[in-house]
Structure 1
Amino acid sequence: MNKTPDLDQARQVLAAQPFSALLGTRLTAFGDGEAVLELDIREELLQQHGTVHGGVLGYAADNALTFAAGTVAGAQLITAGFTIDYLRPAKGDVLRAHAQVVRAGRTRVVVRCDLTTVTGDGDATLCAVAQGSIAVQQAA
């Protein structure tokens, strides 16, 4: 497996993603098989019913899954696939995606992710769960 990046290197990777920069996504934890991404919930990220758009939840899950895999398998990764279950409407001030490695193999890393919304008072509500398979890209 390739060299595992540290938190500062992982934050540089996130900052280099134009879409993540557009959303203002922050990497708040990275290491030991876990990663946490957060982004502020603002009007532009809502759908017509006033809750966070499912595409934003999917983006957060996808990125958190891959960053968590990166803590054990290095930086040369790509999402092979993931599923997401929306449990309740996402309302709050911050969207948090907390991903944890379930199993790290030589070519695939399986990761799960809890997506919660957090209010200004610190109350967290689970709104979606995801699980994904992250492919480890082999050096040529």
Structure 2
Amino acid sequence: MSDDPGDSLEFARATLAAQPFSRLVGARITAFGGGRAVLEVDVRDELRQQSGYLHGGVLAYAADNAITFAAGSTIGSAVLTGSVSVQYLRPALGRTLRAEAHVVHAGRRQAVCDCTLTMLAPDGTETICAIARGTVLTANDKPSART
């Protein structure tokens, strides 16, 4: 990790807090830096699908954001998702979703990351419910606000 303020956990938390959708979901970053990021979301009824499992879209969101933060810790904080592929392994049941991402390869303008999505039960049991892989690209332009 460099001395760049974009490499700090505090910077990552501030960046996440600036994302309206992340605030809506209630996501938090618990680890960041050195090509790694951990994002957590506490399960609540609004995030479940009709059978009571955590909605797959929440898992995909968590994978996408964890992957992007992990990549950003190596290729710079101005990044955008290039692609994300999620493989759902089992229904997501538990109290907290944890998305742990790490960089597999980083170049000058692109990083490839893997992510493991685990559900934490109230008794502390951990169950892997999905895995993901994504590419993240450096971005030079900030998008303009649209109405």
TM over 0.5: yes
Answer yes or no: is 1:18 the counterpart of 2:20.
yes
C-alpha RMSD of the superposition: 1.4
Say which SS state the counterpart of residue 21 (structure 1) adopts. Answer: helix
Task: Give the aligned residue type for 2:52.
Answer: G
Q: Which residue of 2 aligns with 1:6?
A: 8
Residue aligned with 2:104, SS:
strand
Task: State the aligned residue count.
Answer: 138
Q: Tell me the equivalent position of 2:144.
A: none
Contact 1:86 1:128 in 2 (8 A): yes
Q: Which has the higher contact order (CA 8 A, sep 6+)?
A: 1
Task: Tell me the residue number matched to 1:120.
Answer: 122
Contact preservation (8 Å) 2:6, 2:12? no
Measure how far apart 1:122 and its partner are: 1.1
1:64–1:99 Cα contact (<8 Å) kept: yes
TM-score, normalised via structure 1 length: 0.94
Query: Counterpart of 1:72 in structure 2: which amino acid?
Result: T
Conservation of the 8 A alpha-carbon contact between 1:4 and 1:72: no
Which of 91, 99, 117 is the equivalent residue of 1:89? 91
Q: Is there any run of 5+ residues in structure 1 with no aligned partner, and where?
A: none
Local SS of the residue matching 2:108: coil
> Which runs of structure 1 show a deviation greater than 2 angstroms over 4 or more consecutive aligned residues?
2-5
Q: How far 1:79 sits from its partner (Å)?
A: 0.2
Q: Tell me the SS of whatever aligns to 2:7.
A: coil
The change in CA–CA distance for 1:102 and 1:134 in structure 2 (over 3 A counts) is same
AA of the residue aligned to 1:109: A
Partner amino acid for 1:22?
L
CA-CA distance at 1:138 after TM superposition? 4.3
Q: Contact 1:3/1:74 (CA < 8 Å) preserved in 2?
A: no
Aligned mates of 2:40, 2:130 — CA distance in 1: 14
Provide the C-alpha distance between the structure 1 equivalents of 2:139 and 2:61, rounded to a whole number of angstroms: 21
Q: Which residue of 1 aligns with 2:145?
A: none
Q: After superposition, what is the alpha-carbon deviation per residue over 1:33-69, rounded to whole angstroms, capped at 9, x for unaligned?
A: 1000001011111111110111110000000000000
CA distance in 1, matches of 2:140, 2:55: 35
Retained in 2: the 8 A contact 1:35–1:68? Answer: yes
Equivalent in 55, 62, 65 of residue 63 of structure 1: 65
Match of residue 81 from structure 2: 79
For 1:82 and 1:22, how far apart are their aligned partners in 2? Answer: 21
